[in-house]
Amino acid sequence: MGIFFTYLGLEFKKSIKVWKKTVCGMFLMLAVLAVGVAAVSIVLLQSQVFPVVDVAFTVPQGDKMTRMAMRVVEGMDSVKSICRFRYADRETALLKLREGEVQAVIDLPENFYEDVDSGVNTPAHIYFSSEGGDFALPVEVFRELLADGVSLLQTAEAGVYASLSIADQYSAPVGKEQIGNQIALLYMGEVMKRDGIFVKNVCSPWGTVNDVQYYFCAMVLLVLLMGGLNYGFLYQRQGRVVARKLALYGMGRWKMSLAKVTVMTGMLWAAGLLLYAAGCAASAVSGLGFIQPHVKTACGLLLPCVSMAAYFHAVYACAGNRMQGMTAVLALNLIMVIGSGLLLPAAYLPEMVGRLGEWMPLHVWSRYCLDLLFGTNPFWNPENLGDMLRMAGICAAGTGIGALALWKDT
């Protein structure tokens, strides 16, 4: 065991020198990845944006009650997500509709609110653009929203008229105006609470986390993966002579593999902790609050680092030398990044690619790290037991494959 620890100490000293030189490169890589990830995120978000329909309202200048009622409607979330109101006179609104600046015009006559309040059915004229284009679907959604609003008003009106009819038949002790106002108020109170009948289910390509959290985790994993290109110094050709001499003293390939995996794990974990600390600091300074510092989370980062180190060891040992190993690591990393849905979520990938990506180690690392960094129970979650066992399997397989490759190589 003395030879093992001596060899381990020498490899650590060598790795520390290399690690110091690569810290600046790591943060430069992080900056480049941050820009790239931000660009991808913006493109994805823009592709998912639902175009808002511009609707022109022709409300007379002196009709304050109608304008007040329209502001109440305009402030509803269900309305703001579909359309945006603009106020103009009738001629200007119709001109904007012809020029394509607005997609619909609602022409309200003078004293519209007073007529509705007094029971006069004054019609409102609605004009839609005949051109489709990018607004074809949003305009159809707006039509449905408008039809729903009309249906609500018709239901309220029917309820008021029915109540007044019953009041006439049974000689109600209060006046019709008071009955109508009371029923209208009760109905509006129920309408304002209509969102409560829906259950909010968010369907997101990022799962239970938001886009900032998802891409922060993606950047951490990318930096760690690409950092594997720096570990070729452990597999230089001159190391074979040292390995043969160590074998004479009982330093087998398993012990040598374990030492190399341990050295790479230490370097990966140190880099991961730096990135985690940087993320916590950025979260606190920016006020986004997307990640919180936790000791258990820092400890939990060790498991994917061990698994990733075993993966690097297997690739470098099978490649046989430094340059071929670096090329193989780069190629495999790119395949995993594209196929496992790290930068581009699996929901946007072809179904076959998404299924293949689920078998890649990066998919397991990503899923585990997302729950570790942003889950409710850092470091240990019974639901992640399967991922932890898979990472343990990757560690054992990578170390074993690397030991076998070193044995054959020497």
Indicate whether 280 pLDDT > 50. Answer: yes
Higher pLDDT, 37 or 371: 371
Indicate whether 382 pLDDT > 50. Answer: yes
Indicate whether 131 pLDDT > 60. Answer: yes
- What confidence tier does 127 reach under pLDDT thresholds 50, 70, 90? confident
List alpha helices for 249-287, DSSP H: 253-286
Predicted model pTM: 0.59
Q: For the chain, first and last CA: distance in Å? A: 22
Higher pLDDT, 17 or 46: 17
Q: Which two tokens stand for residue 296?
A: 């258990």
Report pLDDT for 48: 47
Indicate whether 383 pLDDT > 80. Answer: no
Report pLDDT for 5: 61
Higher pLDDT, 97 or 134: 97
Of 373, 402, 407, residue with least CA distance to 309: 402
Contacts of 237 (CB under 8 A, 6+ apart): 321, 322
What's the distance, CA 375 to chain centroid? 14
Region 254-269 average pLDDT? 83
Report pLDDT for 311: 92
Of 143, 86, 145, residue with least CA distance to 94: 86
pLDDT digits (tens, 9 = 90+) for 202-217: 566 666 777 778 888 8
Higher pLDDT, 41 or 138: 138
Report pLDDT for 192: 66
Structural contact between residues 263 and 234, judged by C-beta atoms closer than 8 angstroms:
yes
Report pLDDT for 22: 61
pLDDT digits (tens, 9 = 90+) for 144-199: 877 877 777 777 777 777 877 887 777 767 777 777 677 777 777 776 666 555 55
- For residue 38, the number of C-alpha atoms closer than 13 Å in the C-beta half-sphere is 6
Region 291-314 average pLDDT? 88
Indicate whether 37 pLDDT > 70. Answer: no
pLDDT cut 70: percent of the chain above it: 68
Of 126, 130, 129, residue with least CA distance to 150: 126
Report pLDDT for 191: 66
Of 70, 61, 72, 59, residue with least CA distance to 109: 59
